[in-house]
Amino acid sequence: MDVSSSAPTRRTRLLSDPDVFRYVAARIVSLTGSAVTFIAMPVLIYGITGSATWTSLVIVAEAVPYLVFGLWAGALADHVDRRRVMVGADVLAALALATVPVAYWLDVLTAAHVLIAAFGVRTIFVFFDAANQGALPSLVGRDRLPAANALVFGGSTVAETVVPMAAGALIVVVSPASIIAVDVLTFVASAMLIRSITRPLSGARDRVNPLRLTAVADGTRFILRHPIVRVMIVIGILVAFSAGALMAILVVWADRTLGVQEGDWRLGMLFGAWGVGGVIGSVLVPRLMHRFGGVRAALVTLPFAAATGVALAMAESWVAGALAIVAWSVAYVLIATVSVTLRQQVTPEPLMSRVMTAGRMVTFGLGYPVGALVAGALAGVMETDEALLLSQLSLAVAAMIAWSSSLRHAPRRLEVAED
């Protein structure tokens, strides 16, 4: 099946297409709420326990579902209607997340409840994400994936720039548990927007049982057999390790190293710096991929990413920390977007959700929580800046692997998959 046949022409601006606009709007609305939760969850559990280990467990609880359910979610999304999966997942996530503010208002909220809610919502999101990533190539066509992915990342990070700053200020006067209620509403809005998309978000479906082991494993086999995708997945694991480490101890690092505590408006600025870097990175992605090709763009970016990891650990003030986070985020978005785009371009549509979710499973299901656990453990026995430095060395390892692998000799443009 030619997935580009139903997509708008090259001359059509992406956002002028109503269905693309609804898709991007749903993503931005959902991530706006998630950006609030992204700040509120660690701050909430750190306020309850005062423990770096407990705080890191929030990141673990949000990442482990990819490792456990990723392959099954991908197989399901490749065999049923992706629109129904996304709408259903949004509704279930809203219900699960709503338990946190309700428990807080009833004065029965515990750290264990926060962890269980984080795990439950992220488990549901795994199924949403499997369908969401598989739907984009069907919606826009393969040739416009770099621009489409950059648009999704860019729009999302605009929200992630503004919202954390506002949330950081809001936490001063409103409890973290209460502002999580905002995310509940955004899940509902996302469901309504996705339901209103008129074009198909799935290709032809067969009658194979999606839970059959052979169907589940097809995505993994494709990754293992594709030399470029295979190496990019290894790099993705190491980059996700560094991201999990940073997010797990960011609140603790801000408190103990930078002197920025809960309720301080500067905490919102630190989280907002992530969004600023994301916007810059999303603007650069299509330009770098057009000039160098996806693989070479990754090769250029990885040494820069390693340098930003060192800069983070060396920061001694909140301003230096914020600038380092901006640079780190630029590199992270570049590598993540290039990796996702390459997988979408070379994967046949019938395998799309399985391959995308398998890749996400080993990066965010393995690299991300392991990085969070390691950083949390290190922060418990040494200074947080030292823990951050050790955990960010994974970026240097990723750069060395990339430059010593087959990526150095990859063609500028990879062969696009035929469906």
Q: Angle, nearest 10°, between helix axes 294-314 and 227-256? A: 20
43-74: burial string, b at 16+ Cβ within 10 Å, e else: bbbbbbeeebebbbbbbbbbbbbbbebbbbbb
Return the structure tokens found at 86.
Answer: 């996304």
* pLDDT, position 238: 95
Q: Give, for all 419 residues of the chain, the pLDDT tens digit.
A: 333 334 444 434 777 788 888 988 888 887 777 767 767 787 788 878 877 778 778 767 766 787 788 778 888 888 888 889 999 999 998 999 899 989 988 888 888 898 888 888 888 888 888 888 788 887 887 777 777 877 777 777 666 666 666 666 666 667 777 778 878 888 899 999 999 998 888 765 555 555 555 566 777 788 888 888 889 999 999 999 998 899 888 888 888 888 887 667 787 788 778 778 877 887 888 788 888 888 888 899 999 999 999 999 899 898 999 999 999 999 998 898 888 888 887 888 778 888 888 887 788 778 888 898 899 889 888 888 899 999 999 999 999 999 999 888 877 666 655 54
How many Cβ atoms are within 10 Å of 90's Cβ, its own excluded?
24
How many Å apart are CA 307 and CA 180, to the nearest integer? Answer: 34
CATH architecture for segment(s) 16-203+211-409: Up-down Bundle (1.20)
* pLDDT, position 1: 36
How many Å apart are CA 30 and CA 184, to the nearest integer? Answer: 9
Read off the amino acid at residue 234. Answer: V
At which residue do the structure tokens 């990885």 appear? 302
How many Å apart are CA 252 and CA 305, to the nearest integer? Answer: 22
* pLDDT, position 2: 38
* pLDDT, position 263: 64
- Give this prediction's pTM: 0.69
Q: Are 333 and 150 in contact (CB under 8 A)?
A: no
